[in-house]
Amino acid sequence: METEQTPEQDTFERRKKAISQEIAIQLELKKLQNKDQRKKPSIVTNSFFGSQAQMSSSINNSYQTSMHNDSIVIHVDDHNSLVTAAIKIQSWYRTYRAKREYVTRQSDSSRRKYFTLAEFWETISPVRVYALQNIQVRSYSYQSTGAQYYGQWLGGFREGQGVMTWPDGARYEGGWHLNRAHGHGKFTHVVGDIYEGDWYRDKACGHGTYTSATTGGTYNGMWHNDFQHGSGLEHWQDGSSYHGDFAFGEKHGLGRQVWPDGSVFIGQWEGNSINGFGRQQWTDKRSYEGEFARNLMHGFGRFRFSDGKVYEGFYQNDKKHGYGIFKWTNSPTGRRYEGWWTEGRQDGLGILFEKASPQDSEIKVQYVIYKDGVKQRVLTNDEAHLIHQEYEQRLKKTAAFDTQSNDQILRMTFVKPVFFDQKCLQTSNAIRELELRFTPE
């Protein structure tokens, strides 16, 4: 982006106007680009037995550096990495959902051919007083479903211990009360899956263990109305596991997920998706801690790269978006960028900090304008000051509005947003609380 006026050719006021026009044009271009931006589809693995190597390779070399206009540019290579770090989580999660179909077999809707109302009413005796009767042991064949029962009876009620076998091979063995499965019992599905634990009125309720014969997965924890509900632990043959809260068959609350490659996530879940604060730790020493939404990095967070680089700032749909600070932690010159990002790239106003050489004590400060990850120009201190003055004037006019949500106004300054440090502290406190609950297993 070229500047029509130079300090030597015009007055100080015309330079101020030129810079303001330049920023306005940049913002308009950004609006047009966002309007025409096409969303690239995420790569997900629909099969539980899909290639794990294929998933692992999807994020290799996701982040790369390249030289443009003598400045280092951080960007995401869309051709080499359609699946970024948290999208990989989403991919694993969807395969996890596919292999969790065994849980639906325990749900009432898929088991409605067992423990039916017809069976319940078929044997009930019209005799009202059962206290005077004795427990009897006998067998019975149900005309309504063809099921066979052998065990204890109290009048027309199954009461005590008994075994119920259905024509398709499904089988329940355990306690009964008032003609319903009640107490401790074991139900074997026709495919070989087994639930053993507490029952209440024909449904899994209380503590129980479910073992899948087809996938090898196991769940050991609390149940309610045939759904995983409360605290529980899931294990799978591929080494993945989840230990945490469930609500009506879905991960909901706090949980610790170990992925097939050994990566670990701890954090908040909502409706079977990662939502809220959490920390994802990869086996190659990369980590992200911060906010998630719908299994994506979204909100404020910190991403630490395996080579020591650190990004701290805002994300939107898995990409750096908003104000953020990128540090080359191992750089001998202390290189650091503080500024604005759009769709994963430096975009807008920013400040570069770096010493000329490792031996220098003075840090050089450059006020810069980026576009799509490419440095457009370096501003003087006076020009940067004028831009900030323009920002303060705009801010006074919009004082009655929520400036945090007004991204266009916030992007008109080099200064770090006032809420940045608050989000940083909030994130640190949230992650600290998670670490206290989830100690290494």
Give the three-state DSSP class for 44. coil
pLDDT at 339 over 70: yes
Per-residue model confidence as pLDDT tens digits over 142-176: 999 999 999 999 989 999 999 999 999 999 999 99
CA distance 128 to 248: 36
Which pLDDT value is given to residue 266?
A: 97
| Cα Rg, the chain, nearest whole Å | 31
pLDDT at 338 over 70: yes
CA distance 375 to 383: 16
Say how far residue 73 (Cα) sits from the centre of its chain: 28
Lowest mean pLDDT of 3-12, 22-31, 376-385, 428-437, name the range: 3-12
Q: What is the dihedral of CA 251, 256, 259, 261, to 10 degrees?
A: 180
pLDDT at 58 over 70: no
Contacts of 266 (CB under 8 A, 6+ apart): 254, 255, 256, 257, 278, 279, 434, 435, 437, 438
Give the three-state DSSP class for 396. helix
Residue 311: enclosing H or E segment and its boundaries? strand 310-316
Could you count the other beta carbons within 10 Å of the beta carbon of residue 134?
8
The residue to which tokens 């179909």 are assigned: 101
Q: pLDDT band at 21, cuts 50/70/90?
A: low
Let me know: does 218 contact 209? Beta carbons within 8 Å.
yes
φ and ψ of 41, to 5 deg: -70, 150
The sign of the dihedral angle between the CA atoms of 287, 291, 293, 294 is: positive
User: CB-hemisphere CA count at 13 Å for 183?
Assistant: 13
Give the three-state DSSP class for 286. coil
Per-residue model confidence as pLDDT tens digits over 243-271: 999 999 999 999 999 999 999 999 999 99
Which pLDDT value is given to residue 66?
A: 29
Q: pLDDT band at 17, cuts 50/70/90?
A: low
Which pLDDT value is given to residue 408?
A: 82
Mean pLDDT, residues 320-339: 94
pLDDT at 24 over 80: no
Lowest mean pLDDT of 29-43, 121-135, 195-209, 273-287, name the range: 29-43
Which pLDDT value is given to residue 158?
A: 96
The sign of the dihedral angle between the CA atoms of 258, 264, 267, 272 is: negative
pLDDT at 5 over 90: no
CA distance 238 to 281: 18
Q: pLDDT band at 309, cuts 50/70/90?
A: very high
What's the CA angle centered on 154, arms 151 and 156, to 5 degrees?
90
